[in-house]
Amino acid sequence: MIQAPDINNSTAEERRAFIKAKYPCIADCDMCGLCKVFRGADAEHAYDDYITGKRSYMDVSEDYKRR
C-alpha cells in the first residue's frame, strides 16, 4: 500500500492526487459508502487540511474514525 505523501516533502497537487486515487468516487453511493464515512463530503473536501498542508494525513483521518 502506498503511503500518503508527507506534507513537508510534497506539493498540494501530489497530495490531492493521492486522495483522489485512494478514495475514488464510483458514483454509486449505495455500493461505496465513502460519503457516509466523510459525513456527506467528498474526499477532497474532507482532506482539505491535508491537501493544503495544514495537517498530516493521519491527523485528518482521525477525524473520521468511527467512535
Structural domain count of the chain: 1
Higher pLDDT residue, 41 or 66?
41
pLDDT at 32 (0 to 100): 75
> Under 8 Å CB-to-CB from 25, ≥6 apart: which residues?
32, 34, 42, 43
Residue at 15 is within a domain: no
Return the higher-pLDDT residue of 53 and 63: 53
Residue 67 pLDDT greater than 50, yes or no = no
* Predicted pLDDT at 41: 81
Task: Give the domain extent around 37.
Answer: 26-62
Task: For residue 58, tell me if it sits in a domain.
Answer: yes
pLDDT in tens, 2-57: 899 999 999 999 999 999 999 988 777 777 777 778 877 889 999 999 999 999 99
Contact yes or no for 34/27 (Cβ under 8 A): no
Q: Is residue 34 assigned to a domain?
A: yes
